[in-house]
């Protein structure tokens, strides 16, 4: 059973901005064949939207583990999480980032949660995860850690 579940869907502006591939494709193929240009424009746009949607990674907390994208970590190895928003989140993703950290970052989701890894054999000192609900994720992780 999931205590927390979120999927990092792209923001609406990303779908709108990628729609620019439609007129660009039509412009390229119009001198050759307008019908082919329109069909390819639609196909290219749908392919791009499909790739964007496929990149929408899940973030889940169960009673035993934290799952972020394809990675998971048992809650026994999760330290005290910290939420960051605004400029603090930008610093965590940039200047203050440890190169060894494991990251699930999506550019369209600005807030992040930093989760220390307590496993001494794990090379990553912490996980940095994008989330639209940083305070809720921190709260749920804290409660799940205490319960496990």
Residue-by-residue pLDDT tens, the chain, 148 positions: 889 999 999 989 999 999 999 999 999 999 999 999 999 999 999 999 999 999 899 999 999 999 999 999 999 999 999 999 999 999 999 999 999 999 999 988 999 999 999 999 999 999 999 999 999 999 999 999 888 7
Instruction: Yes or no: say if 8 and 109 are a contact pair by the CB < 8 Å rule.
Output: yes
The domains of the chain are located at: 2-54, 62-147
Q: Which of 62, 37, 57, 39 is nearest to 106 (CA)?
A: 57
Instruction: Give one word for 104, left, alpha or beta, with left for phi > 0 and alpha for psi -120 to 50.
Output: beta
5, 11, 43 from 49: Cα distances, Å? 23, 12, 10
Q: What is the pTM of this model?
A: 0.83
């Amino acid at each position: 059973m999931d205590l927390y579940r979120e999927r990092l869907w792209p923001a609406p502006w990303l779908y709108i901005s990628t729609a620019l591939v439609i007129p660009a494709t039509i412009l390229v193929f119009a001198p050759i064949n307008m019908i082919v240009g329109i069909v390819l424009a639609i196909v290219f746009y749908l392919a791009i939207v499909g790739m964007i949607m496929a990149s929408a990674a899940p973030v889940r907390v169960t009673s035993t583990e934290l799952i972020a994208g394809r990675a998971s970590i048992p809650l026994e190895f999760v330290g005290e999480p910290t939420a960051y928003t605004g400029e603090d989140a930008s610093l965590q993703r940039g200047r203050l980032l440890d190169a060894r950290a494991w990251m699930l970052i999506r550019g369209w989701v600005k807030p992040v949660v930093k989760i220390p890894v307590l496993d001494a054999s794990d090379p990553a000192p912490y996980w940095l995860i994008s989330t639209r609900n940083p305070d809720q994720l921190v709260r749920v992780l804290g409660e799940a850690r205490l319960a496990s």
